[in-house]
Structure 1
Amino acid sequence: MLKVENINISYGAIHAIHDLSLEVKSGEIVTLIGANGAGKTSTLRAISGLNPVKSGEITYEGKVISNIGAHKIVGYGLSQVPEGRRVFGDQTIEENLLLGAYLRKSKAEIKASMEEVFNLFPRVKERRKQLAGTMSGGEQQMLAIGRALMAKPRLLLLDEPSMGLAPIVVEEIFEIIKNIRKAGTTILLVEQNANAALQIADRGYVLETGSVVLEGLAQDLLHDDSVRKAYLGE
């Protein structure tokens, strides 16, 4: 479904991503783990068209999407939930969700998608007329995921969905991620909580200083001594 082949990304003189390659197959949850500054967010932003790629190639469902505008990539069926949620605080929850569907034309289909989001996130439904800025961090994360789902993506990119959330809310968010996959959406997950990410993923990639240093089945990575020592606090 998604292939990233030998991409390089630079910010001025800083070479942030070095010959990075990864693959996501349809129906999978794939996770990228690594310390702060390892290049996880830069990789996601390159896939979704927000970071230019200096060299290498990104293909999605057979189309080359490297250095194509982000709005076009959303139209191809790929949505990103950004780090830090980035909801529009002065808009209502309903308005935030509708912004996620801005490329879609059918009002009936948009309404059906909103009902699907409300079924997934009952708390979001209860507060649909409330300003998004008045919600808790966990509720804003749910709204940000719901907004991305309003574009009807076949591949969903999630950037640090557990950041800054209480453990009980993190548990809930990861259950929701599993349910989104069950409903047929493929997921590429960037997450500092390596243990939680590897528990729900099929496969994983470990990033260090802009390069993949380890890859494999999530269960194998969970039991890898170097991963346990570096990322699982053991």
Structure 2
Amino acid sequence: MLKVEDIHVYYGNIHALKGVSLEINEGEIVTLIGANGAGKSTLLKTISGLLKPKQGQIVFEGKAISAKAAQTIVKQGISHVPEGRRVFANMTVGENLELGAFLRKDKKGIKQDMEMVYDLFPRLLERLKQQAGTLSGGEQQMLAMGRALMAKPRLLLLDEPSMGLAPLLVKTIFRIIEEINVTGTTVLLVEQNANLALSIADRAYVMETGRIVLSGNAEELTSSEKVKMAYLGGS
């Protein structure tokens, strides 16, 4: 479904991604784990068109997208839930969700997807007329995910969905990620909580300083001594 080939990305003179390659098959949950500053968020921003690679290419469903504008990439079927949620604070929950469907014209489909988002996140229906900035962190995360789903993505990019959330809410968010995947959306997940990410993923890639240093199915990486020591608390 997605092929990233030898991507190099720079922030000014800083070489942030150094020849990153990965593949995602349709229907998978693939997770990217690694320390802060490893380049995980940079990779998601590059896939979604917010950053442009200096070298290499990204192919989604057989079409090169590396040079495409971010809104074109959304139209083609990739939605990005950024780190820190980035909801529109002064707009209501309902308005945020409607904005997610901004590029769509199929009114019936939009209505069905709105119902699907309410089924996944009943809390959003309760808060529909509330300003997004007044929601709790967990509710804002639900809203950011719901808004991304309103674009009807075939590939959903999730950047640190558990950040700053209470443990109980984290479990809820991860259960919902699995539900989203079961309904047919492929997921690329960046997550600091490596244990949790590996528990729901099919496959995983480990990033260090702008490079992929390990990859394999989630079970293999969970039992890898190197991964255990570096990312799973050594146990």
Q: Which category of TM-score, normalised to the shorter sequence, fits these structures?
A: over 0.9
Give the TM-score normalised by the residue count of structure 1: 0.99
Would you say how many aligned residue pairs link Structure 1 and Structure 2?
234
Map residues 61-100 of structure 1 onto 2, 5 A cutoff. 61-100=61-100
| Cα deviation code 1:82-106 (max 9, x no counterpart) | 1000000100000000000000012
Map residues 1-234 of structure 1 onto 2, 5 A cutoff. 1-234=1-234
| Cα deviation code 1:184-206 (max 9, x no counterpart) | 00000001110100000000000
Once the two structures are TM-superposed, the CA of residue 67 in structure 1 deviates from its matched residue by 2.3
Paired with 2:24 and 2:125, the residues of 1 have a C-alpha distance of 32
Paired with 2:205 and 2:91, the residues of 1 have a C-alpha distance of 37
Please list every run of 5 or more consecutive structure 2 residues that lacks an aligned counterpart in the other structure: none
Q: Tell me which stretches of 4 or more aligned residues in structure 1 moved more than 2 Å.
A: none
Paired with 2:86 and 2:12, the residues of 1 have a C-alpha distance of 25
Paired with 1:130 and 1:23, the residues of 2 have a C-alpha distance of 40
| Cα deviation code 1:142-185 (max 9, x no counterpart) | 00000000000000000000001111110000000000000000
Give identity over the alignment, percent: 64
CA root-mean-square deviation: 0.5
Once the two structures are TM-superposed, the CA of residue 107 in structure 1 deviates from its matched residue by 1.9
Give the TM-score normalised by the residue count of structure 2: 0.99
| Cα deviation code 1:101-153 (max 9, x no counterpart) | 00001222211111110011001111111111111100100000000000000
Amino acid in structure 1 at the alignment position of 2:47: I
Amino acid in structure 1 at the alignment position of 2:168: I
